[in-house]
Structures are given as C-alpha cells and as structure tokens.
C-alpha cells in the first residue's frame, strides 16, 4: 500500500469522466489498497480514484470513527438504481477542496449496484451519511464536485478561498 498525492482544485483531471473497470484484477486491488491508505492518512471518509489521478470508476468509503474497528467499503462501477424523493442536507467537505465546507441537499436514500473488492456483483441500500457520501463520490467519477451543487456566488467564493489558501502555503514554504 502506498499513500498517494491527492489532487486539489483547479486540477483539470478532477473534471474528467472516469472509465468503467473491465476486470477486477490485481492492478485494481492495488489501486484500492492505495486509495484506502491515502484516505485514512488524509483523513477522510471517502475517496474516488480520480482524486489520486486515476480515471477509473473506483471508490473507497469508511464511515467508522477513529476509535472503532475499520469497515472499508470498496465500490467499483457503481450505478444508482434508486434515489429517494426526500432530501437530506449535510455540511460537505472534500479532500480535493481543502478546508472548505458547505451545506448540500441530496436524496436522503439511494440504492446502488456495484462490484466489490473481489469483483462480485453487489447492491447497497444507503441512507443518511452513507447515502450522501456515496453520491458525493459517484459525482467525482463524473467530474462533478460538491461545489457544483451550490449557487455560482458560493462556488466562486470557495474556489477563491482555496486559491488564496494555496498561495499562503507557498509563502510559508518560500
């Protein structure tokens, strides 16, 4: 397992659409292992392959708390087959948009078909935080970021703040 560098906005790769995985082989398993290590180190509760620069439809999620047993979820080629009409809002953040948070409304539950770590077909009924997290990560596979769900004003403000943050970091390094 190797910890990878996480891409940050406005990296153009984050806007690309990821390709479906053809076969869950050792290359894909290595990718998932690296993603998990990168996510735990960040720390974060979800990561899409595109965030480490790999344009494949692969997601890792782990909602366990720091003092709990790890419960990683590996999701390959996810397809949302059901979205609830009722919405839920969470204050969302993203490892690719560091230190910025905003409230996003999404369907409160959803059903997702996917392949697991062993390449087996699987289905998950997600609600609450897990539903939000899965939808956030599937957005990544389509080049969509949580700020795209906000007004243009809020989105521009967050992008400006992220840019400023980066400059400040550079200043310290120099």
Residue closer to Zn ion, measured from CB, 42 or 119? 42
Query: Given 68, 137, 163, 168, which residue is catalytic?
Result: 137
97 vs 95: CA distance, rounded Å = 6
**CA-CA-CA-CA dihedral for 7, 11, 15, 17, to nearest 10:** -60
Task: Please say if 137 is a catalytic residue.
Answer: yes
Residue nearest to Zn ion (CB): 94
79 vs 88: CA distance, rounded Å = 20
Check residue 70 and report its DSSP letter.
Answer: P
Neighbouring residues of 89: CB distance < 8 A, sequence distance ≥ 6:
103, 104, 105, 106
Residue closer to Zn ion, measured from CB, 25 or 89? 89
Decide if 109 contacts 81 (C-beta within 8 A): no
In whole angstroms, the minimum distance from the beta carbon of 136 to Zn ion comes to 6
Residue closer to Zn ion, measured from CB, 11 or 119? 11
Verify binding: residue 50, Zn ion, rule CB under 5 A.
no
Neighbouring residues of 65: CB distance < 8 A, sequence distance ≥ 6:
none
In whole angstroms, the minimum distance from the beta carbon of 113 to Zn ion comes to 21
Residue closer to Zn ion, measured from CB, 31 or 94? 94
Query: What are the counts of helices (DSSP H) followed by strands (DSSP E) for the chain?
Result: 3, 7
In whole angstroms, the minimum distance from the beta carbon of 171 to Zn ion comes to 26
Residues 57-116 close enough to bind Zn ion by CB under 5 A: 94
In whole angstroms, the minimum distance from the beta carbon of 95 to Zn ion comes to 6
Residues contributing to the site for Zn ion (CB under 5 A): 94
Residues with catalytic function: 137
């Amino acid at each position: 397992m190797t910890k990878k560098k996480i891409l940050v906005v406005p990296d153009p790769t984050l806007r690309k659409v990821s390709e479906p995985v053809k076969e869950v082989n050792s290359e894909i398993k290595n990718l998932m292992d690296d993603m998990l290590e990168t996510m735990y180190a960040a720390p974060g509760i979800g990561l899409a392959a595109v965030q480490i620069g790999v344009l494949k439809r692969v997601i890792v999620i782990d909602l366990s708390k720091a003092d709990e047993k790890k419960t990683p979820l590996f999701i390959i080629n996810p397809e949302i087959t059901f979205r609830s009409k009722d919405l839920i809002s969470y204050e969302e953040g993203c490892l690719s948009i560091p230190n910025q948070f905003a409230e996003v409304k999404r369907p409160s539950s959803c059903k997702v078909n996917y392949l697991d770590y062993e390449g087996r077909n699987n289905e998950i009924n997600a609600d609450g935080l897990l539903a939000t997290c899965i939808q956030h990560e599937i957005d990544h596979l389509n080049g969509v970021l949580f700020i795209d769900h906000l007004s243009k004003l809020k989105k521009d403000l967050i992008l400006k703040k992220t840019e400023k943050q980066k400059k400040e970091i550079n200043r310290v390094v120099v």
